[in-house]
Structure 1
Amino acid sequence: MQNQFSRTQLLLGKEAIETLTESRVAVFGIGGVGGYTVEVLARSGVGQLDVFDDDKVCLTNVNRQIYALLSTVGKYKVDVAEERIHDINKKCIVNKYQMFYLPQNADTIDLSKFDYVVDCIDTVSAKLELIKRCHKLNIPIISCMGAANKLDATAFKIADINKTKMDPLAKVIRKKLKQLNIPKLKVVYSEEQPLTPIDDPNISCRFHCICPDKDMRKCTERRTIPASNAWVPAAAGLIIGGEVIKDIIKKAGTLRLNGDEK
């Protein structure tokens, strides 16, 4: 019988769809990149999604984030995500965590529950904590490097962290992982040289934060405000989502090879 995943099943096969239905994936950070990653996972039939973010939708998110609309400004992103996921797949179990994942609260999350973890966090200390814990537990993780201040959506590559270049965030993470004796990490990164954002006091959040009231991360307390657009973060999120789907079914042995029936 046809359903919303029929076209995907024509490509991946029934066994792969069943694998995805039984899978549980966590996405940490559901902004410009993470929101599109969740979109791929939901539309591919992943049976259980855990979304982590403490932000409310801000007007300045509307230019790039899938959950950001004029009608959702002021709403928590995890709430908007849950509603959208269920509008795609009512059977998907959504676990939402209105929180920023940090070293201080990392013990409250049992990462061993997840088949795959997606890191779309934008702070180095939190990214490292998540990567470190997944490494210790042998939980598959993919991490997004820098997607801001860039124009070329075709410059993204999938690689081990040790093979990245031209990405300032990847350089920092690579150095830290060596210190932690973590030998590898799957990442999506861009080889495009980032641009320097225009620091215009008339429109910069650094001077006039218009985010809905929240307890953390006021924009006026940030040293720089990253510039972004509609297509680059989205491309990164779509790439990550596809990698997660392929990795899950490959690990389960339900990935079609050379056109074989599954």
Structure 2
Amino acid sequence: MERFLRTQQLLGDSGFRRLQSSRVVVIGLGAVGGYAVEGLARAGVGSLRLFDFDTIQPSNINRQILALESTLYQPKAKVAEERVRAINPNCLVEAQEVFADQETLATILDPVPDLVIDAIDSLNPKIQLLSEVYKRGIPLLSSMGAALRTDPRKIAVGDIAESRGCPLAKRVRKRLRRVGIETGIRCVFSTEKVTFTYTPPVSDPNVPPANIYENRGRKRVILGSLPTLTGIFGLILANEAILYLSGGSEEGDNMSTTTPH
């Protein structure tokens, strides 16, 4: 198709056919995940299953590709699905407003995808997802912290054991070790040193939650971020996925493709 001619020219006919026959799950459709979906859809990935429980808010406009004046207060999953269809009507896209946790992972991972992209920004759901995907031996790409960074030259890709300079990655490593996982999860992270003070989010008791899951778990801390750095994280995830799925990358062996424990 002319729509994907340049992708096909670069990857070759067989590589592009593999990409078109691939099934990818993306969990988290915010600042990082939205750009990951954008890259996958524009590359011609054949099947996308998208999961996010949240709705688009005015505060998302500074960094989220799905956030527009015309999409405010709509479910991110619904907006993402419509955007993918607008890019590639032939893509088999399914989006669900689902909170990713131990109760829903069986649904999220059925049918078994060729690749899972983790763009969750909450620690507990992230750990639950990474642990389950690793145990099932499903190839995985995960995003560590993209907020608070300003230097794209410090972004790196590697095994979770190699991550450094990222407070989120440090917490993820610690939690994964508790369940016996030390390596085998490929991630995007930044080595840029960050200094910040956590400030609890301020909520107005007279304003109802934006979604039914807002009060589940700990409230997320509001962190400053740029559209450039979060977008680059998402596009790197998409790029890694495209190369792996098309057979154009030797790094695929470094993803979580181990035999389930």
Report the TM range for the smaller structure's normalisation: 0.7 to 0.9
1:85-234 map, 5 Å: 85-111=84-110, 113-182=112-181, 183-196=183-196, 206-207=202-203, 213-217=210-214, 222=219, 224-234=221-231
- Report the TM-score, using the length of structure 1 for normalisation: 0.87
Equivalent AA in structure 2 for residue 193 of structure 1? K
Measured against aligned partners, the alpha-carbon deviations of 1:63-105 in whole angstroms (never above 9, x if no partner) come to 0000000110011111111111011100001111101101233
Cα deviation for residue 41 of structure 1 reads 0.5
Measured against aligned partners, the alpha-carbon deviations of 1:162-218 in whole angstroms (never above 9, x if no partner) come to 11111011111112222222232101000112242696xxxx962459897311226
C-alpha contact (below 8 Å) 1:59/1:211 kept by paired residues: no
Equivalent AA in structure 2 for residue 239 of structure 1? I
Equivalent AA in structure 2 for residue 18 of structure 1? R
Cα gap change, 1:237 to 1:21, in 2 (>3 Å): same
Count of matched residue pairs:
248
Cα gap change, 1:6 to 1:173, in 2 (>3 Å): same
| Distance in 1 between residues matched to 2:163 and 2:32, nearest whole Å | 19
C-alpha contact (below 8 Å) 2:163/2:189 kept by paired residues: yes
Q: Aligned residue for 1:247? A: 244
| Distance in 2 between residues matched to 1:34 and 1:211, nearest whole Å | 26
C-alpha contact (below 8 Å) 1:148/1:194 kept by paired residues: no
C-alpha contact (below 8 Å) 1:63/1:230 kept by paired residues: yes
C-alpha contact (below 8 Å) 1:79/1:96 kept by paired residues: yes
Structure 2 residue 76 is the aligned partner of structure 1 residue 77: yes
Cα gap change, 1:223 to 1:64, in 2 (>3 Å): closer
C-alpha contact (below 8 Å) 2:36/2:237 kept by paired residues: yes
Cα gap change, 1:124 to 1:223, in 2 (>3 Å): closer
Unpaired segments of 5 or more residues in structure 2? 253-261
Q: Classify the secondary structure of the residue corresponding to 2:70.
A: coil
Q: Classify the secondary structure of the residue corresponding to 1:158.
A: strand
Cα deviation for residue 60 of structure 1 reads 0.3
Equivalent AA in structure 2 for residue 184 of structure 1? G
| Distance in 2 between residues matched to 1:251 and 1:111, nearest whole Å | 26
Cα gap change, 1:211 to 1:139, in 2 (>3 Å): farther
C-alpha contact (below 8 Å) 2:243/2:249 kept by paired residues: no
C-alpha contact (below 8 Å) 2:166/2:190 kept by paired residues: yes
| Distance in 2 between residues matched to 1:74 and 1:61, nearest whole Å | 10
Unpaired segments of 5 or more residues in structure 1? 256-262
C-alpha contact (below 8 Å) 2:54/2:210 kept by paired residues: no
Cα deviation for residue 107 of structure 1 reads 3.1
The alignment-based identity, stated in percent, is: 36
- Report the TM-score, using the length of structure 2 for normalisation: 0.87
C-alpha contact (below 8 Å) 2:56/2:67 kept by paired residues: yes
Q: Displaced runs of 4+ in structure 1, greater than 6 A?
A: 209-212
| Distance in 1 between residues matched to 2:36 and 2:128, nearest whole Å | 21
Cα gap change, 1:137 to 1:85, in 2 (>3 Å): same
Q: Aligned residue for 1:68? A: 67
| More divergent stretch after superposition (16-25 vs 168-177) | 168-177
| Distance in 1 between residues matched to 2:26 and 2:197, nearest whole Å | 27
Equivalent AA in structure 1 for residue 184 of structure 2? K
| Distance in 2 between residues matched to 1:187 and 1:252, nearest whole Å | 15
